[in-house]
Amino acid sequence: MLVALAACGDGGGRSASSPSATTSASTTTPTAAASSSAPAASCAQQTLDRLDRPARIGQLLLVGVPIDDPVTGLEQLAGVPVGGVFLHGRSTAGAAAIGAAVAQLRSATGVPLEVAVDQEGGLVQALKGTGFDPVPSALQQGRLAPEALRSATATWAQQLHGAGITLDLAPVADAVPAGTEAQNPPIGAVDRQFGSDPVQVAAAVTTLVGALQDAGVAATVKHFPGLGRVDVNTDTDVGAADPETSPTDPYLEPFRAAVAAGTAAVMVSSATYPQLDPDRAAVFSPAVIGLLRDQLGFDGVVVADDLGQAVALSATPVGERAVSAVGAGVDVVLTVRGQDAAPMSAALADRAAADAGFAARIDESALRVLALKERFGLLHC
pLDDT in tens, 75-113: 999 889 999 999 999 999 999 999 999 999 988 888 999
β-strand pairing of 272-273 with 277-281: antiparallel
- For 136-158, write each residue's pLDDT tens digit: 999 999 999 999 999 999 999 99
- How many other CB atoms sit within 10 Å of the CB of residue 286? 13
Distance CA 246, CA 267 (A): 18
Counting beta carbons within 10 angstroms of the beta carbon of residue 373, is it exposed (0 to 12), middle (13 to 18) or buried (19 or more)?
buried
d(CA 68, CA 93): 8
Domain architecture of the chain: domains with CATH = 59-358+366-375 (3.20.20.300)
Which stretch of 22-26, 177-181, 300-304 has the lowest confidence by average pLDDT?
22-26
Q: Phi and psi at residue 152, in whole multiples of 5°? A: -65, -45
Picking from 268, 235, 229, 273, the residue whose alpha carbon sits closest to that of residue 251 is 229
Residue among 275, 324, 323, 268 at smallest CA distance from 300: 268
pLDDT of residue 38: 60
β-partners of residue 63 are 85, 335
Choose between 50 and 3: higher pLDDT.
50
Mean pLDDT of 308-323: 95
Q: Considering just the CA atoms, what is the radius of gyration of the chain in Å?
A: 20
The predicted pLDDT at position 37 comes to: 57
How high is the pLDDT of residue 108? 81
pLDDT class of 358 with cuts at 50, 70, 90: very high
Cross-sheet strand order for the sheet of 333-335: 301-304, 265-268, 218-224, 167-168, 114-117, 84-88, 61-66, 333-335
| pLDDT > 70 in the chain, percent | 90
DSSP assignment, residue 2? P
Other C-beta atoms closer than 10 Å to the C-beta of 36 total 7
- Which is more confidently placed, 188 or 39? 188
Give the per-residue pLDDT at 370: 98
Q: What is the pLDDT of residue 79?
A: 86
The SS3 of residue 336 is coil
Percent of the chain clearing pLDDT 90 (strictly above)? 87
Mean residue pLDDT of the chain comes to 91
The more confident residue out of 24 and 284 is: 284
- The pLDDT assigned to 1 comes to 35
Return d(Cα 233, Cα 231) in angstroms, integer: 7
Neighbour tally for 312: CB within 10 Å: 24
Average confidence (pLDDT) over 157-171: 98
How many angstroms separate the CA atoms of 312 and 305, rounded? 11
DSSP-based three-state secondary structure for 191: coil
Pairing of strands 61-66, 272-273: unpaired
**String of b and e for 43-73 (b: at least 16 CB within 10 Å)?**
bbbbbbebbebbbbbbbbbbbbbbbbebbeb
Q: Is the pLDDT of residue 235 over 90?
A: yes
pLDDT at residue 110, as a whole number: 86
Strand partners, 84: 62, 114
Tens digit of each residue's pLDDT (9 = 90 or more) over 4-53? 333 344 333 333 333 333 333 333 333 333 344 567 789 999 999 999 99
Quick check: 116 and 167 in contact, CB under 8 A? Answer: yes
Q: Which of 312, 305, 182, 174 is nearest to 235 (CA)?
A: 312
Spatial distance between the Cα atoms of 56 and 165, rounded to a whole number of angstroms: 22
pLDDT higher than threshold 60 for residue 307: yes
